[in-house]
Structure 1
C-alpha cells in the first residue's frame, strides 16, 4: 500500500510540474510575441513583390537582406534639401540602426547588378497620389517577397520629417499598415509606431516594428 501511495504521489507531482511547465512556456511565448504581425507577407498582404514604375505602384515588398544600404538623391529633380537629409539620417540612426539591420550610407550608389543600393530617397511630388505625402516602390524585385532596390519619394516644401521617413523606410523593409497586419489593427493604433497613418513628425519606429524586423532579419 505504501508503494502504491508513493507511486500515485510521484505521478501527481510529475503531472503538476508538467502543467506548471506548460503554463510558464505559454506565458513566455506571450511575453515575447509582437503586438501584431505587420511584416510582409501577412495573411492580408501577400500579393507578391514585383518591379514597378512609380506611377503604377501597387505591390508590397521587403528588402532582400539584413545589410541595408541607402542613398539620398543629391542632384537633379529629386534632390533632397539639407533638412530632409537630416530627417532621413535621424530615422536611420535612431530607429533602424539599433535593430538587427546593418545600416550604412552608400555615397556611390549602384542602380544595376547584383548589389544595388537598397533604398534611394527622393524629394518631389511627381506621381505621388494626392491623398498621401510619400510613397515607396520596388525598382528591381528579387522574388515574390523581396526587392533588391526600392525608391522612397516624399513631397518637398516641408513634408519630409523623421516620422514620415521612418514610415516609408518601414515599407521598404517590409512593414505594412495595421489594416493588413495579422491580426488586423487600426491604421491609427499608436502601438504600430511610425507605421501609423497619418504619422507624426517625430514618431519613432516602436517596439512592435522592431520585433518584427528582428524576427525577419
Structure 2
C-alpha cells in the first residue's frame, strides 16, 4: 500500500488532471463511486456493467464497503470518492488508464479520485480493477515494498500490463484489509 519505501511523497491534488504521478489512498473504507457523468467522459452501458461486476466480485472480500452514489458530490466535505470516466485525455500512449487525486484530504489520503480508462475495448475487468487499486492505495511492483517484478503474480490486477480478467490477488486483499 502506498506510501511504501519505494514510493513515497505526499498525497496532493494532481495539477495536470490525470498524469498519474500522484498516488494516494482513498480517505475511508466507505467508498462511494459514480460513473454516469455524461458528456465527454461518459461510460457506455457495457463499461458501467464491467465496473459494477468488478467492484462486486473483486472488492467484496475486502474491508471496503462500495456504494453507488446517484447524487455525486464534487466539492466540499464528503465528496464522492471515485469518479469513473472513459476517454484518453492525459493518458500516455503506453497506458490503458490513469488515476489521480482531485482533492487531497491529507498527506496520505484523497477525498475524491478520478479514474479514466480509454474506450473502445480498454474498459476491461482487469484494467478497472487495476485503476481502482490505485485509488485505494495499491501500487505497481516497482513501487511495492518489497519491490517486485511488474508482472509478479502476487500483484494480481496490479500487474503491468494487466490481463483482461485479472482480479485482486490475496496480497492485494490483505493490504487493503490491513489499511482500512
* Aligned positions of 1:68-79 closer than 5 A: 68-79=31-42
Q: State the 4+ residue runs in structure 1 displaced beyond 6 angstroms.
A: none
Structure 1 spans left out of the alignment, 5+ residues:
1-38
The aligned counterpart of 2:160 is 197
- Pick from 138, 145, 157: which aligns with 1:175? 138
Q: Which structure's CA Rg is the greater one? A: 1
Q: Does 1:99 align with 2:43?
A: no
Kindly tell me: are residues 186 and 100 of structure 1, through their superposed partners in 2, closer, same or farther at Cα, counting changes over 3 Å?
same
* Aligned positions of 1:98-137 closer than 5 A: 98-137=61-100
CA–CA distance in 1 between the matches of 2:89 and 2:101?
16
- Pick from 150, 153, 169: which aligns with 1:187? 150
The aligned counterpart of 1:42 is 4
The structure with the largest helix share of the pair is: 1
Give the 3-state SS of the residue equivalent to 2:171 in structure 1: helix
Give the 3-state SS of the residue equivalent to 2:103 in structure 1: strand
| Superposition RMSD in Å | 1.0
* Aligned positions of 1:54-73 closer than 5 A: 54-73=17-36
Shift of 1:56: 4.6
Structure 2 spans left out of the alignment, 5+ residues:
none
* Aligned positions of 1:128-167 closer than 5 A: 128-167=91-130
With structure 1 as the length reference, what TM-score do the two structures score?
A: 0.80
